[in-house]
Amino acid sequence: MPNLNVGLVVAFGLLLNVGILNSSLAASYCTSTLCTSETLTNTKDAVSGLSTTCSITDTVQFGGDCLRHCNTCKTGYTKTAQTYSAASCSNTITVYNCVSNSSGGGDDDDSGSGGVRPFNCVAGPYSSAMCGTTFANSLTGCSASSSYCFGTTAVKTCDTCRAGYTATTKTLSVGTCSSDYSYTDCVSSGGGVGGTSCTTNADCGTDSDWWGTGSIQTRTSHLCLRNTCSSSMRARCAPGYYDENGIGSGMAFQISCVPCPEPGTSSAAAKSINLCYVPANTTLTDTSGVYSFSSDCSYMSD
């Protein structure tokens, strides 16, 4: 006669092991991790409109899927965080979409042109992953400053001013935020103004930060020339662009900044297309399937 107890023990052991495996599997499914070779075959978009609004995508594994969302938005769009939920998970993760800077056919500000600015933005801790590395405002006479994310836009404010400068409150209209960003800048109290006497460049004030939200960034430089302060405007190609004139940085009329081929990007002041590259971990899809770059891949011209 067969030993039924042994059969029951074996069956119970199998059920227990399956339960443990399912529990472990569920835990891994509901934790955001890098996509594996298995889940890369099951890639889907976590947000809509990526091909239209996003120039560089990222992937994350969650809920058994490899999810594609945006790393860098195309010109005219703003990176915006949103939550993603999976049917098998009780928690959610944050993914990024790109929202058009124009809404309802108007501008993205409230300057009277009929624009809509729907998002209530607050200044939070700065993170390049959240708001990028291009700051929307520039500062002049600060001795110390702080950086923040105002919505999904990088901004700065002066903490203390240099000698000869006075703290002044300014406001900045930012993207789709319903309110303006209020910050402190330091303006000259009289010294260092163009045409005044000087012995060193420092007597003429601090150069401003590079700033600009389009293809070109600018800054104001202060120099002491023949014991007289002088100011000049410098320009450079913004990240994601390169100068087809081969200069990268100079006077604004000297450079012609054009976008890197998608999904490529570049560092600021790139002077040739060879300085454009596809960032590591970028995922692309074509007729052969889905693949990811293991390292930065530079563009090579003919």
Residue 39 burial (CB count, 10 A): 21
Strands 228-237 and 241-243: unpaired
Residue 26 lies in a domain: no
What the block records as the tokens of 195 is: 């045409």
74-111 confidence digits (pLDDT tens): 777 788 888 888 877 888 888 888 887 764 333 333 33
Q: Can you give the residue range of the structural domain that contains 90?
A: 31-100
**202 plus 185 within the same structural domain:** no
CA 177, CA 53: separation in Å to the nearest integer?
19
Residue 49 lies in a domain: yes
**183 plus 231 within the same structural domain:** no
Residue 107 lies in a domain: no
**66 plus 138 within the same structural domain:** no
Residue 110 lies in a domain: no
**171 plus 270 within the same structural domain:** no
**176 plus 244 within the same structural domain:** no
Residue 2 lies in a domain: no
**Domain boundary at 189, 206, 234, which?**
189
With a cut of 70, list the residues of the chain below it in pLDDT.
1-29, 34-42, 102-120, 163-165, 175-176, 188-196, 302
**139 plus 73 within the same structural domain:** no
**212 plus 301 within the same structural domain:** yes
Residues 6+ apart with CB under 8 A from 194: 204, 229, 230, 231
**202 plus 296 within the same structural domain:** yes
Residue 6 lies in a domain: no
Residue 252 lies in a domain: yes
Tell me which DSSP letter residue 119 carries: B
Residue 258 lies in a domain: yes
**264 plus 296 within the same structural domain:** yes
Please give the tally of structural domains in the chain: 3
244: left (phi over 0), alpha (psi -120 to 50) or beta: alpha
Across all residues in the chain, what is the average pLDDT? 74
Tell me which DSSP letter residue 127 carries: -
Q: Which class for 35: exposed (0-12), middle (13-18), buried (19 or more C-beta within 10 A)?
A: buried
**Domain boundary at 189, 205, 228, which?**
189
220-258 confidence digits (pLDDT tens): 777 788 777 777 778 899 999 999 999 888 877 788 999
